[in-house]
Amino acid sequence: MPGVSSFRTTLLRTARGSSAGLLAGFSALAVAELTAALVRPAAGPVTVVGGAVVDRTPAAVKDFAIRTFGEDDKIVLQVGILLLLALFAVVLGVVSLRYRRAGAAGVLVFGVVGAAAALSRPDSAGAGDALPSVLGALAAAAVLYGLAGPAGKAAPVGSTSGDTGTGSGWSRRGFLTAAAGTAAAATGTGAAGRALSGRRGRGAVASRDGLVLPAPASSAPAVPAGARPGVPGISAFTTPNREFYRVDTALVVPEVDAGAWRLRIRGKGIARPRSYTLAQLLARPLIERDITLTCVSNEVGGPYVGTARWLGVPLAGLLAECGVRAPSKGGRADQLVARSVDGMTLGSPVEDVMDGRDAMLAVGMNGEPLPFAHGYPVRMLVPGLYGYVSACKWITEIELTTFDAYDPYWVERKWARRAPIKTQSRIDTPKPFARPAAGTVVIAGVAWAQHRGIARVEVRIDDGPWNDADLAAQHTLDTWRQWSYRWQAATGGHTLTVRATDGTAAVQTEERARTVPDGASGWHSVFVTVP
Ligand SMILES: Nc1nc2c(c(=O)[nH]1)N[C@H]1C(S)=C(S)[C@@H](COP(=O)(O)O)O[C@H]1N2
Ligand SMILES: [Mo]
């Protein structure tokens, strides 16, 4: 039955081509990983291609990704890149059985793409960043070329001579041996890369473990018991570090060794640039403050908001020492651009930073050095401004400039230049579609309008009147405020809605706005059924 045997041959060929392709791809990643560990861990091909994708993703898609995948968005992206790579590897592997040189050449194209992505990264450290992708592609091309079999010995398709019937010059046993050898070599190379980058990371971990935070010169006032009355189901007043939301573009969390870290301050109004070590910053009088941080990508009712006790260097004083003056005091710079070790840029109004609020360079979060994911060793915070215009993590440079002269990262991507936090309130309990028993149901949640404070919170059942909620004590103007309302629930389906009034007497607007360009607005509602 020739039909069956040719089908079997095709199957074997495809299997052999696919495994050659996948092995080539695996070897590429292993060699690239080892090279990146030697050159710069952030220059690995998956990281740089992923980063380039993130940078070029339209705001609406990015917003969709954050909404759909939440904080797993980066893992989804990386797995996507790997799957796509695997698919191309299989195709190239099969192609290379027939067109051996073309297959190998196709692999080199990936090297070029990876190298281009590496060089286009804002934190690119120069030509060396292209090396992992280039060497990885060369390794893959060699593997593919080799596994496609010694040239000229390919048996004709349909040949009955068993062992060579899969189309390449290798005997079946020869191919399996070569494949196993390649797999072992690639695994060893990859493991060596991992071990090496792990050792690099340990310097950063040791620097963080060894950091003893000084006591603040100005402590945060204790959170009064009245500010957190302990209503079941409500967000904790202080968000634990491991539960604090994380939003950034870093595919690999930068692990900065504080020993080598410096903060440079330069730009308009600064006669000569200054540079500070972490020890110099820690030697200054520190302030400790409770501040609620919010992301502009937070939907109405969303989770990207949290409160922590931050320890840091007052930023206004540091800037004044460098010669910076607020625009209202004759300063020439109206925009402060913070730059991170991974090339992110965030721009804040100099006026806000210097108007007396507790803008700071934070070193501590809830009693420990900043976690790596939240910006170790130093991050910026400006109460009242969304994170993307103020809260630079892994900060390494502050440049004084103007809004006219420079658009930072998110502004280049259609987000607003200036973005004070909008007044928002959220129902934490009951949860959407909950089925609370009839009788007294406590509706409760949080409201925030950083640096203006919350003056009132009201709750509405269905289309009924607005009822004043019980407000917990206002801790400070820069923190959120808890509220609760005792509802006498009657049987049926009900829509619960909340709105807040801020310290300037402005009522939270009902008008729905998307998160782009300057933050979501509208009222948060929850639908429940009382059985
Ligand atoms: N270096 C860097 N800093 C950054 C970002 C980033 O992508 N890179 N994202 C900003 C945004 S959009 C927000 S909302 C806050 C979030 O801080 P968190 O992750 O500690 O909650 O960090 C800000 N600082
Ligand atoms: Mo954000």
Average confidence (pLDDT) over 223-245:
97
pLDDT at 3 (0 to 100):
64
| Ligand 1 atom closest to 245 (CA) | 21
Q: What is the mean pLDDT of residues 39-54?
A: 85
Whether the predicted pLDDT of 82 surpasses 80: yes
Cβ of 409 below 6 Å from ligand 1:
no
Coil/strand/helix, residue 314: strand
**Which distant-in-sequence residues (6+ apart) come within 8 Å of 279 by Cβ?**
none
Would you say 337 and 398 are in contact if contact means Cβ atoms under 8 Å apart?
yes
Please report the pLDDT score of residue 162 as a whole number: 40
Q: Which of 247, 340, 363, 411 for mutating ligand 1's site (highest number of atoms within 8 Å of CB)?
A: 247
CA distance 337 to 349: 9
Report the range of poorest mean pLDDT among 130-144, 280-294, 486-500: 130-144
- Confidence band (pLDDT; 50, 70, 90) for 143? very high
User: Is 383's pLDDT higher than 90?
Assistant: yes
Question: Which residues does 276 contact at the CB level (< 8 Å), separation at least 6?
Answer: 262, 263, 265
Percent of the chain's residues with pLDDT above 70? 95
- Across the range 508-515, mean pLDDT stands at 97
Q: What is the DSSP letter of 373?
A: G
Closest-CA residue, ligand 1 atom 5, reads 248
Ligand 1 neighbour 381 (Cβ under 6 A): no
The pLDDT of residue 476 is: 98
The model's pTM is 0.87
Q: How confident is the model at residue 55 (pLDDT cuts 50, 70, 90)?
A: confident
Cα(389) to centroid(ligand 1), Å = 9
Q: Which strands, in side-by-side order, build the sheet including 335-340? A: 274-276, 263-267, 395-401, 335-340, 345-349
Give 76-80's long-range contacts (Cβ < 8 A, gap of 24+).
77/50, 77/53, 77/251, 78/46, 78/50, 78/251
Of the listed ligands, the closest to the CA of 294 is: 1
pLDDT(1) > 70: no
Pocket of ligand 1 contains residue 485 by CB under 6 Å:
no
Give residue 90 CA to ligand 2 midpoint distance, Å.
Answer: 38
Start-end of CATH 3.90.420.10 domains in the chain: 225-412
pLDDT in tens, 200-221: 778 899 999 999 999 999 999 9
Tell me what the mean pLDDT of segment 392-415 comes to.
96
pLDDT per residue as tens digits for the range 337-351: 999 999 999 999 999
Q: Tell me if 530 CB under 6 Å of ligand 1.
A: no
Q: What is the pLDDT of residues 404-458, one digit of tens each?
A: 999 999 999 989 999 999 999 999 999 999 999 999 999 999 999 999 999 999 9
73 C-alpha vs ligand 2 centroid, how far in Å?
A: 14
Cα 177 to Cα 170: distance, rounded to the nearest angstrom: 10
Class of domain 225-412: alpha beta
pLDDT given for residue 11 in this prediction: 87
Residue 150 has what pLDDT? Answer: 55
Between these two residues, 370 and 198, which has the higher pLDDT value? 370
